[in-house]
Structure 1
Amino acid sequence: MDLNYEVHGTGEPIVMIHSPGVDMREWKYIVPHLAQTNEVVIFDGRGAGKSPAPVEPSDFVNDVLRLIDHLGIEKATLVGHSMGGQIATDFTLTYPDKVKKLVLISPSLTGFKYSSEFTEWMQKVNSVAPDVEKLVEMSLSGPNYSITMSSPHQGFLYEMTRHYMNKVFTEWKNFEIIWPEPPAIERLHEIKASTLFIQGDKEWEDLYRISEHFKQVQSIRFIIVEGADHMVTLTHPEKIVNYIDLFLHQG
C-alpha cells in the first residue's frame, strides 16, 4: 500500500475520505472522538499530504478498495467530504457489500453538471496558475470558505491548501481521474446503505442542487449545520461527531 494512512482506536471500522485541496489532517478534531468507540482509518488521497503524486490516471475508488483490503477490513462505514463524498458514493455503488453505512459531508457527485457561475469561478481561480500563493488566495476567497477564513482555523486551512497546491505543481505528472460508469448521478436509487447527508448553510448553490439528487437514496437523512461553510469539519467538529455518533449507533 503506497498511500499514507493512520489507524486510530478499535471497534467497527470507519474509513474517512478527505476533501480535495487539503489532506487527512482535516479530520484532526473529529478522529479522537470517533476513535473512542470505533477503529478509524484516515489517509492522504493520492497526490495529497504524504501520499505519492499521480504518475498515471488516478482511480480513487480503487485506492479505497486497496486500502481496506490491505487492512483486512471486510465492511466499513465510509465518511466522505466534498470530492471525498463523491469517492465514497461511487465506492458504495461499486462495492455495496463492503459498506455498512455512508456519511456524506457536502459531497460532489459524478455526472453532475455544474452551473456557469461555478465553472466561471473555477476558471478564474485556475487562471492564476502556476502562482501557488495566488491560487491559494483565490481558492479560499470563495463564498464557500467565508466562515472558515474568518475563524481561528484560517491559518490551518491556508497551510493545508498551500501544501496541496505546491505538491500539485511540483510533483504531479498526471491529472486524469477514472470514475466508474455509468455516473453515480444515474444510480443513486441503487444505494441500499443507510446514509447521512450533512451540509453547512453557506455553500455554493450547486452543492444544494446536488443534495436534491441524493433524495433518490432509499434511506437517507439530511442535516443542515447553521453558521457553517464547506469546511464544517474544521469549524463545527463537535456537531459532526455528534451526528455521526448518533447515526452509527441507531438501529
Structure 2
Amino acid sequence: MTKIEVNGAVLAYDDVGTGSPVVLLHAGIADRRMWRGQVDALAARHRVIVPDLRGYGDSELPPTPFAHHDDVAGLLEALGLPQVALVGCSFGGKVAVDTALAYPDRVSALALLGAPVSGHEWSEETEQLWEDLVGDVDPEDFAATAAGEVRFWVVGPTRKPEDVDPELIRFAEEMDQRALAAEVALSAVEVGELDPPAVDRLVELRMPVLVGSGADDLPDIRRLADRIAAEAPHGVRMPDVPDAAHLAPLERPEPVTSALLNFLP
C-alpha cells in the first residue's frame, strides 16, 4: 500500500505491474480489496492502480467539500498519468462514468460491472425487492445493516444465502461494515455530484466501453447495463457473468479477468 495526497486528502492505493495503466474503482459496499482476484493477472500486462476512494478503506476524509470524480482525476495527475483505462464495479462504476464525462481526455477505455450512473432512479421493483429480502434494519447497527446489504447485493434476488460461498459472504460483510462507517462520515461532508448527471449523457462516452453485470444481480442493474451499452457510441455489452450477483469481480474472478484482459488496450 502507498499513500499520496490528492486534492487535500491522503488516498491509499496499490500500484502493481508495468505497462498501459489501469485504475480499478471499488464498490460502495467494499474497498480496494474486492479486486484481489484481478490484480495479479492484469499486472502481467498493465500497471494496475487500485485506490480506496476518499473516506473508504485506508483513505482519509478531511472535512472539506470534494467530488469522487475529481479525486480520480487528481490521482492521475499526482501519479503523472495523462490517460488511463478505468474499471469500476457498482459505485466505482458510477465514479468511473462521472470521471469519463468530466475528464474525457484522461480516460482511454471504460469497463463497468454492475454499475449505476448518476441521476438514475431505482424502480419500484427494486424498492420492493429490498422490502422482501431485507426489510427494516437499524442503520446504527452496522453488523445487521451489512448482513442485509450483502443479502441484497451479494447474494442477490434470485439466490438464497446457502447458494453462495460462506467465505464470500463473510468477507463481503466485513468490508461492508467498514464501508458503512465510511458512509456515515461521508454524510457529514459535502460530496459534489456531476452536473448535469450521467444518466442522460451516455452518448458523450466516446471511448470504448465494456459493460457487464452478474446474472444474479438486480434487474435494474442488468437493464441499466443494456442501456449504457446501447447509448455509448462504442459500447459493448458482455454476457452476464454466470453464478454471480453484484460483486462479480470478487465472486467470479476468472471470467471477469478474462473479459478485462480481452478488452483493455
Q: Aligned residue for 2:243?
A: 227
Change (3 A) 1:69 1:234: same
Verify the 8 A CA contact 2:202 2:231 in the aligned structure 1.
Answer: yes
1:153/1:235 contact within 8 Å kept: yes
The aligned length equals: 248
Query: 1:22 Cα deviation (Å)?
Result: 0.9
Match of 2:253 in 1: 237
**Aligned equivalents of 2:119 and 2:187: distance in 1?**
25
What is the aligned partner in structure 2 of residue 91 from structure 1? 99
**Corresponding residue number in structure 2 for 1:198:** 212
CA contact (8 A) 2:153 2:246 kept: no
Unmatched 5+ stretches in structure 1: none
Aligned pair partner of 1:218 in 228, 233, 237: 233
2: distance between equivalents of 1:60 and 1:71? 17
TM-score, L = length of structure 1 = 0.91
TM-score of the aligned structures, taking structure 2 as reference length: 0.86
Question: Is 2:171 aligned against 1:163?
Answer: no
- CA gap of 1:166–1:190, structure 2 versus 1, over 3 A, is closer
Task: Write out per-residue CA displacement over residues 202-221 of structure 1, whole angstroms, 9 at most, x where no aligned residue.
Answer: 11121123123211100111
Cross-structure match for 2:139: 129
Match of 1:31 among 30, 33, 39: 39
Aligned-partner residue type, residue 230 of structure 1 = H
**CA shift in 2, pair 1:175/1:202, >3 Å:** farther
Q: Within 5 Å, give how 1:105-144 maps onto structure 2.
A: 105-119=113-127, 127-142=137-152, 144=154
Check the 8 A contact 1:54/1:173 in 2, yes or no: no
Please give the secondary structure, in 1, of the residue aligned with 2:199. helix
SS in structure 2 at match of 1:140: helix
Structure 2 residues not aligned, in runs of 5+: none
1-structure distance, mates of 2:136, 2:260: 34
Aligned letter for 2:47? E
Comparing 90-99 and 52-61, the one that deviates more? 52-61
Q: 1:97 to 1:202 in 2, by over 3 A?
A: same
- The structure 1 segments of at least 4 consecutive aligned residues displaced by more than 4 Å after TM superposition are 120-127, 146-149
2:169 is the counterpart of 1:154 = yes
Is the deviation greater in 236-245 or in 109-118?
109-118
Q: 1:8 to 1:206 in 2, by over 3 A?
A: same
SS of aligned partner of 1:79: strand
Separation of aligned partners in 2, 1:13 and 1:117: 39
Aligned to 1:178: 192
| Aligned-partner Cα distance in 2 for 1:162–1:14 | 27
* Cα distance change, pair 120–60 in 1 and its aligned pair in 2 (3 A): farther
**More moved, 24-33 vs 155-164:** 155-164
Task: Spell out, residue by residue over 1:181-225, the C-alpha distance to the aligned partner (whole angstroms, 9 max, x if none).
Answer: 111111111111001111111111211231232111001111211
Q: CA deviation at 1:54?
A: 5.3
Between stretches 102-111 and 143-152, larger displacement belongs to 143-152
Describe the SS at the equivalent of 1:225. coil
Distance 2:99 2:105 in 1: 10
Aligned residues with identical type, % of pairs:
27
Tell me the distance in 1 between the aligned counterparts of 2:111 and 2:82: 18
Q: Retained in 2: the 8 A contact 1:53–1:173?
A: no
